[in-house]
Amino acid sequence: MDGLNFDLTEIPLRTVNNFLHKEAPGQGVKKVTIANPDGAHNIAVGLDFAVEIEVVGHAGYYAGGMNKLASITVTGSAGTGVAENMMSGRVHVKGFASNGAGASMHGGLLVIDGDAGLRCGISLKGGDIVVGGSVGSFSAFMAQAGRMVICGDAGDALGDSLYEAVLYVKGKIKSLGADAQIEPMSEVDLKTVKDLLAAAGTAFTGHDPKDFKRVASARGLYHWNADANQEY
């Protein structure tokens, strides 16, 4: 079943989400368009089947949260926590994203064409985030795994308390967080950035991977050091 359309000025979001959870998987639904979201929260959350969702307009908090397998596009901007705890699939925000974009992601790909707010990729546990603009302070805080490509600038304390996640930044970094350091780009890194930019879409392919810096953990926080006297 293709081409289902829901207008949130006529149908409650709860009804739409209930349909996506309980009925759509068994009916072979391939694409759903959600019109007039008007900043509604929790649009298309917790999906666990392969479906294409287009949100025409701006989304509120947690759009595409806990996503599994679905491909979700927001043609406007998204509020706090877009793609939070995503397991797999793809979420694409064609505008800007507010705080906590991609928080606790385990897998999948989050693409943000514009800027992202504070704490983008916080507690990242896997998956990939590609940001066309800049990210706010404390982005990738305690990022445990996964990769982030930032085509603009990064705010204060980027990558604070990083673990195994790797960040690639094209623009200026206001400051690095505790235990984060800039490392040389290898051939593997250049290919990684190239592949992630290509996966993000044609709007990103004009960036040269050689212009990016690699940020990773210095591993100084991996083990408790009693002699550090709380100074790292």
Average confidence (pLDDT) over 55-81: 98
% of the chain at pLDDT higher than 90? 93
The alpha carbon of 212 is separated from its chain's Cα centroid by a whole number of angstroms, namely 19
What is the pLDDT at residue 1? 60
pLDDT at 230 over 70: no
pLDDT at 2 over 80: no
Do 147 and 76 share a structural domain? no
What is the pLDDT at residue 229? 66
- Is residue 226 included in any domain, yes or no? no
Query: Per-residue pLDDT tens for 70-120?
Result: 999 999 999 999 999 999 999 999 999 999 999 999 999 999 999 999 999
- The first and second tokens of residue 186, run together, are 């290898």
- pLDDT bracket for residue 213 (50, 70, 90): very high
Greater pLDDT, 229 or 154: 154
Residue with tokens 């999948």: 108
Do 72 and 140 share a structural domain? no
- Is residue 56 included in any domain, yes or no? yes
Do 197 and 131 share a structural domain? yes
Out of 97, 131, 163, a domain closes at 97
- Is residue 109 included in any domain, yes or no? no
The alpha carbon of 5 is separated from its chain's Cα centroid by a whole number of angstroms, namely 26
What is the pLDDT at residue 3? 77
Assessment of whether the complete model's pTM goes beyond 0.85: yes
Cα distance between residue 228 and residue 232, in whole Å: 7
pLDDT at 232 over 60: no
What is the pLDDT at residue 231? 63
Out of 36, 68, 97, a domain closes at 97
- Is residue 160 included in any domain, yes or no? yes
Do 197 and 163 share a structural domain? yes
- Is residue 219 included in any domain, yes or no? no
Residue with tokens 């793809």: 90
| Number of domains within the chain | 2
Do 123 and 176 share a structural domain? yes
Do 123 and 55 share a structural domain? no
What is the pLDDT at residue 135? 98
Side-by-side strand order, sheet with 109-112: 4-7, 31-35, 52-56, 71-74, 90-93, 109-112, 125-131, 145-150, 166-169, 213-217, 180-183
DSSP letters of 169-219? Answer: ESS-BS-B-TTEEEE---HHHHHHHHHHHHHH-GGGTTS-GGG-EEEEE--
Query: Per-residue pLDDT tens for 148-185?
Result: 999 999 999 999 999 999 999 999 999 999 999 999 99
- pLDDT bracket for residue 190 (50, 70, 90): very high
Do 148 and 205 share a structural domain? yes
Per DSSP bridges, beta strands 31-35 and 4-7 are parallel
Do 202 and 164 share a structural domain? yes
Out of 38, 62, 97, a domain closes at 97
Do 150 and 86 share a structural domain? no
- Is residue 28 included in any domain, yes or no? yes
Do 134 and 83 share a structural domain? no
* Cβ-Cβ contacts under 8 Å for 153 (sequence gap 6 or more): 134, 135, 169, 171, 172, 173, 174
Do 193 and 127 share a structural domain? yes
Residue 137: domain span:
115-210
CB distance 84 to 62 below 8 Å: yes
What is the pLDDT at residue 224? 67
Do 119 and 81 share a structural domain? no
Q: What average pLDDT does the structure give for the chain?
A: 95
Average confidence (pLDDT) over 3-20: 96
Q: Give me the long-range contacts of 173-178 (CB less than 8 A, separation at least 24).
A: 173/213, 173/215, 174/137, 176/215, 177/138, 177/141, 178/221, 178/232
pLDDT at 33 over 90: yes
What is the pLDDT at residue 18? 96
